[in-house]
């Protein structure tokens, strides 16, 4: 249990519950977790904080309203990228996201986005990456979308596909459930080949934004 990144088995042992219970919590977004490919992993520090929070307050995971693209994304948060390196793409998109009123510390956002990426790649396959952070300097969840006409080769996706679509999510630290639900929402929507192709073929960011908004009605 000294490692910073834990498996389901290690979390189950630490919490004294079954592995199935931990898996169900992760699937439902009720415990801090992330996936590498198809395998769940957990940060020890976040698990400890999660446990302490619930022991001290008795809080349960809140019920979250259905995700709306319009609620988390604005037209100016969709940008075309001209980057061939992951670092440059993340920096460019973080700079755009930092323009949102919800983000109060641009430097912290970029630092934590890059640190998170060093920990594990946020590329989820199919040419998509979803870099994401929760920060105390963010007041509410907000998203920026980057569309790269050039394939970014160094994301180290599990399917070895280069990345061209980036969805950067920044949330307040106390928005864990909403944050996970948003990650799941984008992951599910982006399984659509038509959506991915439409975004890559969009003539300008406004058209890409309108295409994304159309997903709310599906």
At residue 112 the predicted structure's pLDDT band, cuts being 50, 70 and 90, is very high
CATH code, domain with 195: 3.40.930.10
pLDDT score of 218 = 67
Q: Domain for residue 174, yes or no?
A: yes
Give the model's pLDDT for residue 109: 96
**For position 51, which CATH number holds?**
1.10.1660
* 63 falls within a domain: no
pLDDT tens-place string over residues 117-165 = 988 889 999 999 999 999 989 988 999 999 998 999 999 888 889 999 9
Residue 17 forms part of a structural domain: yes
DSSP 3-state percent helix, strand, coil across the chain (nearest 5): 50, 20, 30
Cβ atoms of residues 138 and 110 within 8 Å = no
CA separation for the pair 10, 32 (Å, rounded): 14
Helices and strands, number each (H, E), in the chain: 9, 9
Q: Which residue do the tokens 């640190």 mark?
A: 115
**Number of structural domains found in the chain:** 2
Same structural domain for residues 46 and 74? no
Angle at the Cα of 58 from the Cα atoms of 54 and 64, rounded to 5 degrees: 80
* The two structure tokens encoding residue 170: 């920044």
Out of 23-37, 119-133, 156-170, 189-203, pick the least confident. Answer: 23-37
Q: Is the domain of 188 the same as that of 86?
A: yes
50 shares a domain with 152: no
pLDDT tens-place string over residues 36-46: 777 888 888 88
Closest to 78 (Cα-Cα) out of 100, 61, 59, 62: 100
Residues 138 and 204 grouped into a single domain = yes
Greatest mean pLDDT range, 28-32, 55-59, 165-169, 180-184: 165-169
Does any domain span residue 129? yes
d(CA 208, CA 75): 9
123 vs 154: CA distance, rounded Å: 10
Query: Residue 1 has what pLDDT?
Result: 42
How far is Cα 91 from Cα 86, in angstroms, rounded to an integer?
A: 9
Q: Are residues 211 and 184 part of one domain?
A: yes
Does one domain contain both 74 and 33?
A: no
Same domain, 35 and 136: no
Cα distances (Å, whole numbers) of residue 58 to 54, 55, 68, 82, 200: 5, 6, 29, 48, 46
65 pLDDT band, cuts 50/70/90, is very low
| Same domain membership, residue 115 and residue 23 | no
- Residue span of the structural domain in which 12 resides: 5-57
Say yes or no: 32 and 94 in one domain: no
Taking only Cα atoms into account, the Rg of the chain, rounded to an integer number of angstroms, comes to 17
198 in the same domain as 110: yes
Q: What's the pTM value of the predicted model, to 2 decimals?
A: 0.71
Provide the annotated active-site residues.
Answer: 132
Q: Do both 147 and 112 map to the same domain?
A: yes
158: in domain = yes
Kindly state the DSSP code that residue 94 receives in the 8-state scheme.
H
Bridge partners (DSSP) listed for residue 42: 6
Q: Is residue 62 part of a domain?
A: no
- In the 8-state DSSP scheme, what is residue 216? G
Degrees to nearest 5, angle at CA 13 with 121 and 28: 55
In this structure, the answer to whether residues 53 and 73 fall within a common structural domain is no
């Amino acid at each position: 249990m000294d490692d910073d990144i834990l498996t389901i088995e290690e979390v189950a042992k630490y919490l004294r519950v079954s592995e199935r219970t931990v898996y169900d919590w992760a699937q439902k977004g009720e415990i801090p977790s992330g996936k590498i490919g198809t395998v769940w992993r957990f940060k020890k520090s976040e698990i400890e904080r999660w446990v302490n929070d619930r022991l001290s307050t008795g809080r349960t995971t809140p019920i979250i309203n259905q995700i709306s693209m319009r609620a988390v994304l604005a037209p100016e948060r969709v940008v075309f990228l001209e980057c061939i390196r992951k670092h440059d793409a993340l920096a460019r998109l973080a700079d755009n996201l930092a323009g949102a009123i919800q983000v109060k510390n641009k430097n912290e956002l970029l630092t934590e986005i890059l640190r998170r990426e060093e920990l594990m790649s946020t590329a989820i396959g199919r040419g998509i990456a979803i870099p994401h952070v929760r920060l105390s300097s963010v007041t509410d969840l907000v998203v920026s979308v980057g569309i790269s006409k050039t394939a970014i080769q160094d994301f180290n996706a599990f399917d070895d596909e280069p990345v061209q679509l980036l969805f950067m999510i920044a949330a307040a630290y106390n928005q864990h459930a909403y944050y996970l639900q948003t990650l799941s929402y984008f992951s599910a929507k982006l399984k659509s080949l038509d959506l991915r192709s439409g975004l890559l073929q969009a003539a300008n960011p406004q058209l890409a934004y309108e295409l994304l908004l159309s997903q709310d009605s599906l």
